Structures are given as structure tokens and as C-alpha cells.
Structure 1
Amino acid sequence: MNRQHQGLLRGLLAAVTFGLSAPLISTLTASGSPLSIAGLLYGGSALVLLAARSVLGKSNQESSVKRQDLGMLAMLTLIGGIAAPICLVSSLALLSAGSASLLLNLEAIFTMGIAIVVGREHLSSKGITAAVLILAGAVIIGGGTTTGPTLYGAVLIALACLGWGIDNNISQRLSIRDPIQVALLKSVGAAVPMLIVAGMAGARFPTPIETALFLVIGGIGYGLSIWLDLLALRELGAARESVIFATAPFVGAGFSVVVLKETMGSNLLAAGALMVGGIALLLLEDHAHWHRHSEEWHEHKHCHSPIDQDPHHAHEHPNGETDDTKQDQPLWHSHTHKHEPITHAHPHASDDHHRHQH
């Protein structure tokens, strides 16, 4: 499995885990205030990521967060980790689980628009067709399962999706750093202030059993999802990742119908077929052309292989650091290095190394 296909798989897993979280949260919104619930969700995210980091250990293959990254990290924590979840939890109290799940498709639209207009990312004709198919599927689902969401609830979800659209594009820039560290810092940075403010303001907290449920939902639907999503953003870019993540509302809507017994529209299967077709197109995408890389210095995880060396990382190392590459196994590590100017053709996505003009 090549790196782009790994990114697609991780993006799908991130979409599934997040897609299931919205309808589950909607069944518990009456148990506490939006601020306390959002804080508990990111508290669960932080706990799962702390456990993952303790089990996996600190990877010397990954680049740690740098001082120059703190501004972007603070912005995505404030917008995507605090403001957007509060808007989402508030909206879930006003909408049915299926309706809320479907309206989350706005996140893909905001993410893609920002990525293409601001981030100068590129989508091929297959990528655009895939986006249209997936979003068309969401529209069809919406025609069959929405049940009159209030304007206020819809506006709140739109604001949440806008926040996550900005978050996704910032996260893509940070995806060259250690994804567990980025996700953990975001989760702690969001959970701690929300829980402190909720406690000081006398906000209503859920019961101990409901609190445990929110921690579990947050751990899987936010912690695991954010980690997988950062890995997908690294390989795919924000525009392509948003197309894959557009399946999350479909997962949530399907869960609402099958498990929560909400009304099922006759067009649900047709919409699902469109979304599967869109994902298949992305899997078959092979965007390749001649392009030029300018000289660049940066730090990120990369590989040295004695069999098939990546031409971007054919650099020398002091003190014989890569002697292990003389063996059959590739060496993954992270350090500051220079990318030499190079012109070549190969399949690629709009990752940090391929933001060129087309």
C-alpha cells in the first residue's frame, strides 16, 4: 500500500470514528451544558492520546512541535478545539441526530474551499468528480432524512463546520510534526480551559456515568479521529482529505437510522452508492506530471532506503548516521535537512512538498 492509499485508509477511519460521535452525543446533550460536554469530549481525547503516547513512546522518527508552530497550534485549539465543539454540542440539542450528521457535510465544503483558494492546493478532474459525487450523495440523504432543523441549530452547525474547515487547513501545515503530540497538545489545550471555566461559572455537569460515556466518545470520536486525520492530511493535503472526511456525515446518518431508529429515506442506498463511487475515484487517482521543486530547508519524518531512495531525501548525514541503510531495512528519522532543487514527474498529492502551479 503506497503512502496516498495509506492516507485514504486513515482518513476513512478518522471519518468513521468522528461520524459515529455526533449521533451519540445528541442522545446525551440534555445531561449537561455545552461547555462542560465539549470539555469532557476533549478530556477523553487527551486521555486516549496520553495512553497511546505512553504505549508507543516518543518516536525519534517524528519531528517535535517547534516554537514557531505554537501560534498555529493555539489558533487551531481555539477555533477547532473550543469554539467549534461548543457550537456543535449546542446545535445537537436543537436537531435530530440524522439532520445534524448530514449538515456536517458543510465541513468538507469549507475545508476544500479554503484549501484551494487560500492554500493553493490542487484537485485533479477525478478529485473534483469524487467531491461532487460524495457531496451529491449527502444532498440526496438530506432530502430523505432531514426533519425540519431549526434555523438556529443549522447556523450553529455551519459555524462549527467553518471552524473545523479552518482547523483542517492549519492542521495540514502542522502534519509534518509528530501527529500524537499535535493532537495531544490540542486536546489538553481545549479541555483544561473549558472544564475550568465551566466549573467556575457553575455550569451543569453530567452524572458520573454520563461523564464516563462522554470521555469514551471523546477518546474515540475526537482523540483517535484527530490522530488519524493528521496522518491523512500529511499524505493527501486538506482538499483531498476533506473529500474523504465527507463520508463522516453518511456514517452518522446511517447510525442514526439503524441504531437510533430514526426515519430512513428510500434514497439512502443511492446516496451511499454515490459516496462509495467518489471514494473509488480517489483510490484510482494517479495525478502525475513534470514539476519543479525549489530549494527548501525544513524538518520532518522521512525515509532513507538502500533499495528505492526517495530523490527528495538523498542527502548526506554527519557522523555516519545512516550507516544502517546499508542493510535491507529502510531508516525512518527526522532532522533539519535541505531539499535540493529537482525537476521530475511522479504521482503526488497536494502535500507540503507539492504546492506548485498547474
Structure 2
Amino acid sequence: MTPRHTLLALLVVVLWGFNFVAIDLGLAKVPPLVFLAMRFVLVAVPAVFFIRPPAIGWRNILLIGAFLSLGQFTLLYLALSLGMPPGLASLLLQTQIVFSVVVSSLLLREHPTRRQLVGIVIGMIGLAVVVVGHTYAAPWLPLVITLLAALSWAIGNVLSRRARAASGLSLVVWSGLVVPAPSLGLALLVNGPQAVGYSLTHLSIAAILSTVYTAVAASLVAYTIWNSLLARYPTGAVVPFTLLVPVIGILAAWVVYRENPTASEIVGGAIMLGGLAAAVVNRRPRRRAFVPE
């Protein structure tokens, strides 16, 4: 990758890393499902009036939106609202790499290599260390919900790869339309019309800024850059940058909340990221074919 594109990839990592703290700040006074609906209204509108839908069929758009956006973020927002630490959430969501390999082998028949299997096993050992250490100190339910969010993200990744949309931004915008109505409807059932109405008419500055950040910076800007990099470079050259997201997420949580990870989270997280790196980082660059001049 060129230095410019490397810096753009690092910018995406920073935007995604701070996204967890931004979400947590927005959830302080807004119910999670209402906050989710607000985010994706801003993701889709007004862009949907200027960007053509991806030519992958409405069924694929609905399925990708259901897993990549609605499922992933509903579960993540719910976990954060139940007390999941933002820094730890940024780490556990990276298990989507493992889930993506497994789901891809089931749906696309893309079987993992021996090195990927070894990396997955190491990653799962690290995850087990994190889970055991966390459940001794905090409730386990938010942790399980976060892992389900990672699974939903992985299914969305595989569906997106199978659909092969020409424009990543178009897919983000149009699949984002799947989110607002179901999340707002669930919020009305769970929280009640009065609570939903009050939260929408008494938005704090923090909630508004958080919505703008998560929709514009973390969704539209970051995914536009990310998809453009994936279009230019092999997946193995781009995807490993996501391993830096938990580092930024944990650092952001420490700066904002003074959230200090436990020893088991540090050790388990290091083992987990090491295993994931072994699974996705291609250490053997392709040799260029010799072309006589």
C-alpha cells in the first residue's frame, strides 16, 4: 500500500476505535433502539435520494442490512446499555474474523487453511481467557450479546462478499434503510411510546453529536474509504488493519472513562489478537511474474 492509503486505513481504524465510546456516550440518555434508529436515518437520508441502489437484488440488500446493520448494532447497543465496557466490546467484536471464516466455509465453501485453523484455535484460547476473567468480575449477559453481535457482523460480511456490490457506499446507504423502522418499532414495544417520544424531544448535545459521529464518521466516511481500499488492494493487505481497532477502542475508553482493562483481559486479548493476526495476515507476499523487457 502507498503511504497515503496506509494513512487512510489508519484513519478508518481511529474512527472505528472511537466509535464505541461515541455510542456509549449517546446511550446515556437515549434508549438503545431509538439511538440506533436515529443513526441509520442519518446514514440513509438524504444520501438515498442521490445514490443508486446496488445492482444485487432487493433480497440481498435486505439480508445484508438485517445482519450487517440491524442485527450487529442492535445487539452491540443493547450490550453497551447493559454495562458492557466500550473498550472490551471493541476487542470482542474482532471475533467476527473467526466467525467470518467459519460462516464462509459453510455458505461459500471457502475452507480455511491450516494456518487459519491454527490462528482460530489460538484466538479462541485468548477469548476463553477474556471470558473467564470477565465473568468473575462482571455479568456475563452483555458479553454473550456482544459475541452474538460479532456473529451477525460475520454473516453480513459473508453475504456482502457473495453479493459483490460494485459500490460499497451504495450498499451501506441502501442496506441502512433496513434498520430504522424495525428498531423504532421494537423501541415502541420495549420502552413504550411515552419514553420514545420523550427521548426524541429531549435530545442532549451529547446524543446529537454521538449520532452524527456514528452515522457520518464511523459509517459513511469510514466505510467509503474502507471499501475503496478493498477495491484497490488484496483483502489480506487491508483486513489486518482492523486488528488495531481494539487498541484504539481500549485507549479511547481509558481516556474518556479511565476504563482500565484487567490482567485477564490484557493477556487474553493479546493471545486473541495474535491468533487472529496469524489467521488473516498473509506473511508470504506473492512473487511478481518475470516479464522480459
TM-score (norm 1): 0.60
Task: Tell which structure's C-alpha radius of gyration is larger.
Answer: 1
Q: Is the 8 A contact 2:22 2:210 kept in 1?
A: no
Distance 1:13 1:20, change over 3 A: same
Report the Cα distance in structure 1 between the residues aligned to 2:70 and 2:228, rounded to whole angstroms: 22
The offset of 1:83, in angstroms, is: 2.5
Give ranges in structure 2 of 5+ residues lacking alignment: none
Per-residue CA deviations over 1:62-112 (Å, capped at 9, x if unaligned) read x9622x522111011122222221111111022222332332233222112
The corresponding residue for 1:282 is: 281
Q: Judge which range, 95-104 or 162-171, deviates more.
A: 95-104
Distance 1:109 1:12, change over 3 A: farther
Q: Which of 207, 230, 247 in structure 1 is aligned with 2:203?
A: 207
> SS of the counterpart of 1:65?
coil
Report the Cα distance in structure 1 between the residues aligned to 2:62 and 2:35, rounded to whole angstroms: 21
1:218 alignment partner AA: A
2:21 alignment partner AA: P
Q: How many residues align?
A: 276
Per-residue CA deviations over 1:162-213 (Å, capped at 9, x if unaligned) read 1111111112233441111111112233235534664795224361422332
The offset of 1:15, in angstroms, is: 4.2
Q: Which of 204, 216, 220 in structure 2 is aligned with 1:219?
A: 216
1:207 alignment partner AA: L
The corresponding residue for 2:18 is: 20
Q: Is the 8 A contact 2:105 2:111 kept in 1?
A: yes
Distance 1:276 1:11, change over 3 A: farther
Q: CA RMSD of the aligned region, Å? A: 4.3
Report the Cα distance in structure 1 between the residues aligned to 2:105 and 2:67, rounded to whole angstroms: 20
Q: Which of 137, 144, 162 in structure 2 is aligned with 1:148?
A: 137
Greater relative contact order (CA < 8 Å, ≥ 6 in sequence): 2
The corresponding residue for 2:71 is: 83
Over the matched positions of the two proteins, sequence identity in percent amounts to 17
2:172 maps to 1:183: yes
Give ranges in structure 1 of 5+ residues lacking alignment: 289-344, 347-358
The offset of 1:50, in angstroms, is: 2.9
Distance 1:115 1:248, change over 3 A: farther
Report the Cα distance in structure 1 between the residues aligned to 2:136 and 2:215, rounded to whole angstroms: 27
Q: Is the 8 A contact 1:16 1:251 kept in 2?
A: yes
The corresponding residue for 1:173 is: 162
The structure richer in helix per residue is: 2
The offset of 1:221, in angstroms, is: 1.9
Report the Cα distance in structure 1 between the residues aligned to 2:268 and 2:136, rounded to whole angstroms: 19
Distance 1:287 1:145, change over 3 A: farther
Q: Is the 8 A contact 2:80 2:86 kept in 1?
A: yes
Distance 1:20 1:283, change over 3 A: farther
> SS of the counterpart of 2:147?
helix
Report the Cα distance in structure 2 between the residues aligned to 1:146 and 1:225, rounded to whole angstroms: 33
> SS of the counterpart of 1:180?
helix
